[in-house]
Amino acid sequence: MGSHPYQGKECVASAILFMLVLMMAVCSCSTYNLRGNLEETARAYGVAVRWKNFEATELFVASSIRDQFDKRVKDAQDVEVAEYEIIAVDYDEAGKKATVNAKITYSTRFSNRVRTLIDKQVWSYEDPKGSKQWRLMTLLPEFK
């Protein structure tokens, strides 16, 4: 059997190229998973706000702002949310942070006036106690 002197090098080059393509695919999938997970988390938070399930919203909040968030929750007891819509997501892949803008349409028990606000949420991908997840770094908005 005759073999070409470059045949072994071509196999190694092909294997290296295949491994690089495979690594790029794995990296892009993990980035996609982070984004997909952010979108799922932000939507779940929005559902909790929409249905005034403020106890559930606390599950998304970073521990560093939990006390302040609890105060905002108490202040929002008379709020009725009519609509919650995510209107923009700005994702910082390198910093594992994101800004989510949500439009909230609401009224209060004491007024039949319908109001709208834009809630600019900052999210961070954190690893508290070995459980990586997106955490809300901003407070529930003030419903005025």
35, part of any domain: yes
| Number of domain units in the chain | 1
The pLDDT tens digits for 23-50 are: 433 333 455 588 889 999 999 999 999 9
Pair 19, 50: CB distance under 8 Å: no
pLDDT of residue 19: 44
| Domain span including residue 31 | 7-136
pLDDT in tens, the chain (144 residues): 555 554 555 554 444 444 434 343 333 345 558 888 999 999 999 999 999 998 899 899 999 999 999 999 999 999 999 999 999 999 998 889 999 999 999 999 988 899 999 999 999 998 767 678 999 999 999 998
Residue 109's CATH number: 3.10.450.50
- Burial 126-142, CB ≥16 within 10 A → b, else e: beeeeeeebbbbbbbbe
Sign of CA dihedral 49, 51, 56, 59: negative
At residue 8, the 3 state secondary structure works out as helix
142, part of any domain: no
Q: What is the distance between the alpha carbons of residues 36 and 42, in angstroms, rounded to a whole number?
A: 10
